[in-house]
Chain A
Amino acid sequence: MVYLTRLEHFNAAHKLYNPGWDADKNEQVFGKCANENWHGHNYELFVTVKGQPKPDTGFVFDVKQLSLLIKQHVIEKVDHMNLNMDVEFMKGRICSTENLAIGIWNELITHLPDGVKMHCIKLYETPRIYVEYFGED
Chain B
Amino acid sequence: MSKKVAVFRREHFNAAHRLFNPGWDDATNEKVFGKCARPHYHGHNYELEVKVTGKPDKRTGYVMDMKSLGDLVKREIHSRFDHKNLNLDTKEFKNLNPTAENIVVVIYDLLRPHIDKKMDLQIRLYETPRNFVEYPV
Contact = CB atoms under 8 A, between A and B. Distances in A.
15 contacts: A9-B128, A11-B44, A14-B43, A38-B41, A39-B15, A40-B16, A40-B42, A40-B43, A81-B42, A82-B16, A82-B42, A85-B40, A86-B38, A126-B12, A127-B12
A38 B38 CA distance: 14
Classify chain A: how many residues form its interface, as a range.
Answer: 20 to 34
Interface in A17-68: 32-33, 35, 37-42
Contact of A11 (B83, B88, B89, B128): B128
Interface of B: 12, 14-17, 35-36, 38, 40-45, 47, 82-85, 88-89, 128-129
Given A13-B16, A13-B40, A80-B38, A38 B45 contact: no
Interface of A: 9, 11-14, 32-33, 35, 37-42, 79-82, 85-86, 126-127
Contact of B85 (A12, A39, A79): A39
